[in-house]
Amino acid sequence: MTLSRITLKRGREKSVKNRHPWLFSGAIQRVQGQPEVGELVDVYDKQNNFLARGAYNPRSQIRIRLLSWQVDQQIDSDFWHGRLERAIAGRQTLINQTDTNAYRLVHSDGDGLPGLIVDQYDEWLVVQFLSAAVEVHKETIVESLQQLLTPRGIYERSDTEARKKEALPQTQGLLVGEEPPEQITIAEHGQSFLVDVRQGHKTGFYLDQRENRRKVAKYAAGKRVLNAFSYTGGFAVSAGHAGASHITNLDSSAAVLELARQNVSLNQPERDDTYEVADVFQQLRHYQQTEQTFDLIILDPPKFVHNRSQIEKGARGYKDINMWAMKILESGGVLASFSCSGQVSADLFQKILFGAAVDAGREVQIIERLTQGSDHPISLTCPESDYLKGLVCRVW
């Protein structure tokens, strides 16, 4: 089979040689052939040297998602099956554990499968096809997942903004097997959580924070905790389990707060915590104005930065919430602050918190650096796969 040929502009081959999986439209000099959305193409430099093979999308700024750097490698059903098998094998340690039954099995570029997310929740798989590269091979990928894992059902959550960037329609629904229940019960470190995989954020739960929930919880014993952007109560359950005296859960959605309440009650029915529906930015100011303070504050906001043009605005948002959080912490209190914006580097995030500390007039020490769980691997050739960063700080 002869593939369409892509020739790069002079000097634009460096990222390809470094095996970065994204090739942007501005790097392309010439397209020979008429490749359609998701069609395989071969990439060459100006000297006609083969560089890589990938999936083409004329409607996306990321014009080619590179899949192989071997001229003799076929991108066929065996290729997809092999990549999926390798990814799943990399999670075997988690799969063998008895204290959790929910984890990420495929992490997009981190696993050499650009745009593909596969999360397991007990007996169900929840999948996202976020690029044309995997969308056109959906049937093959789903078939391989069935062979490798024999799930009770595979449910699709390709209803995200990322699909728009690929000019793909948003879609959601059962692909094979049984429909998942309204709530799936998952286990994590001896705790239980109810997950709504059909309506919840991402695929239903923030699996990437699994280890961080346990790490932050050790600061909660006997403390008054503010769990801002609480979502369905992941950090609240862990903090309560660690012995927090009281937890204030804050989110703009009444629906997710109700699920947070259910999750806390599922684990500790005796707890009498607070659940406030409010805008976090405004509520933090309100706490400062009413002189309400906390011993531990957890900030786990949604993504503020979706592209480079939003970095400055997003940085202001991160600085604002961290400044107000620092203002309402008791002296010696702990701030656990996170950013899941891939465009915000760890270095920039630390600088943002530095600025927040200066404006808050507080002395701040970093006591821990946190990142995404091991089931969200970071590819050394794709730094964008390193998206979650967290700083645990002591505030004086």
The most distant pair of C-alpha atoms in the chain lies apart, rounded to whole Å, by 71
> Which residue type occupies 196?
D
HSE of 233, CA atoms in CB hemisphere, 13 A:
32
Q: Which helix (DSSP H) or strand (DSSP E) does residue 362 occupy? A: none
Distance CA 213, CA 234 (A): 7
Residue 320's DSSP bridge partners are none
- What order do you get walking across the sheet with 40-44 strand by strand? 22-24, 62-68, 50-56, 40-44, 4-8, 28-32
CB atoms within 10 A of CB 211: 16
The SS3 call for residue 165 is helix
Please report how the helices 311-327 and 280-289 are oriented relative to each other, as an axis angle in degrees rounded to 10. Answer: 30
Residue 340 annotated to the active site: yes
- The separation between the first and the last C-alpha atoms of the chain, rounded to the nearest angstrom, is 66
Give me the DSSP letters along 284-334: HHHHHHTT--EEEEEE-PPPS-SSGGGHHHHHHHHHHHHHHHHHTEEEEEE
Task: Note whether 127 and 180 are within 8 A (CB).
Answer: no
Looking at residue 134, its amino acid is V
Q: Which of 296, 329, 340, 356 is catalytic?
A: 340
Give, in degrees to the nearest 5, the angle at Cα 183 between 177 and 187.
Answer: 95
Separation between Cα atoms, residue 375 and residue 208, nearest integer Å: 8
Distance between CA atoms of residues 349 and 389, nearest Å: 8
What phi and psi values does residue 100 have, to the nearest 5 degrees? -150, 145
Rounded-to-integer distance, Cα 90 and Cα 143, Å: 20
* Residues facing residue 226 across a β-bridge: 248, 297
User: If you ran DSSP here, which 8-state letter would residue 183 be given?
Assistant: S
Which residues form the catalytic set? 340
